[in-house]
Every structure is written in C-alpha cells, then in structure tokens.
C-alpha cells in the first residue's frame, strides 16, 4: 500500500490529560506567565472558576496526534488553525477526535479536522491541519 492510501477514511479518538506535568512543561517552553494562566485571583476576577489553561497546550497535543497517531510517521505539518470555544482547566481529561477530511494524492497533501471535547462532552476547541507526506 502506498503511503497516502493508508489515510483513506482515517479517524481516531485520542485521550489527553492536562496534567500538572503538561502545564509545567508548556510554561517552561513558552515562558508565558500571563495571570489568566497563573493567578487564580485574576482568573476569578475575569469570571473563570480557576486558572484557565493555555490554549496552545492543545496545539502541543495536535503535534503529538500528527507525529505519533497517524498511519504513517512520514509526515510534516504545512499549516493548522484552531478556534477556542470553551476554557479548560488543570487535570481536565480531553478527547481529541481527529479525522481525514480530504486527500490530494497528486501533491501528497492531506487535510484533517479535529475537535477536543471535555468530560462533560462540551467542545473545547476545533480546527484543521494540513500535512504533507515525506517521500
């Protein structure tokens, strides 16, 4: 089977946990200490129940999904987008629904869509990823 055919009809549900380790590692990577993410008093003043997690933790999870969970490791991300629909919080268990949307075989390009849902089945974010197959 050629590399791109493996993606026909591909869809997968991938669990992620926004653990303290994930939060700390993202903070160390980004050096983003905005009070919404680090100061519970500030977060509550802004109407949230606790510190809001960094939205871009989800893009780190996207990186994992593309790098580790596809039918081939021979991939590279061309572009991606994400919309944040609802906040998520420390220790939230999220499920990512990842699905191939379109395959452009002549240029070895695949478009995927994804959404993250929390345990209450509330949509946290959604978006798209375009990848190329590395030959």
Instruction: Kindly list the residues in this chain that would bind a second copy in the complex (CB under 8 A).
Output: 21-22, 25-26, 28-37, 46, 52, 54-57, 59-64, 66-68, 73-84, 134
Nearer to a second copy, 57 or 112 (CB): 57
Cα 115 to the center of its chain, rounded Å: 8
Question: Which residue in 26, 33, 18 sits closest to 92, CA to CA?
Answer: 18
DSSP of the chain? --TGGGGTT-EEEEEEE--HHHHHHHHHHH----HHHH-HHHHHHTT-SSPPPPTHHHHHHHHHHHHHSSS-S-EEEEEEEEEE-S---TT-EEEEEEEEEEEEGGGTEEEEEEEEE-TT--EEEEEEEEEEE--
Q: How far is the CB of 121 from a second copy (least distance, A)?
A: 22
Q: How far is the CB of 84 from a second copy (least distance, A)?
A: 6
Q: How far is the CB of 103 from a second copy (least distance, A)?
A: 20
- Residue found under tokens 């980004």: 30
Nearer to a second copy, 60 or 123 (CB): 60
Q: How far is the CB of 127 from a second copy (least distance, A)?
A: 8
Nearer to a second copy, 33 or 107 (CB): 33
Q: How far is the CB of 122 from a second copy (least distance, A)?
A: 17
């Amino acid at each position: 089977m050629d590399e791109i055919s493996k993606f026909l009809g591909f869809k997968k549900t991938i669990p992620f946990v926004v653990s303290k380790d994930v939060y700390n590692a993202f903070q160390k990577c980004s050096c983003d200490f905005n009070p919404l993410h680090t100061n519970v008093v500030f977060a509550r003043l802004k109407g949230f129940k606790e510190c809001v997690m960094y939205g871009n933790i989800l893009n780190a999870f996207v990186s994992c999904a593309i790098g580790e969970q596809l039918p081939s490791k021979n991939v590279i991300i061309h572009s991606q987008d994400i919309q944040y629909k609802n906040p998520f919080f420390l220790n939230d268990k999220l499920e990512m629904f990842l699905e191939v949307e379109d395959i452009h075989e002549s240029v070895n390009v695949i478009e995927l869509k994804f959404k993250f849902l929390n345990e209450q089945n509330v949509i946290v974010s959604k978006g798209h990823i375009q990848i190329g197959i590395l030959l």
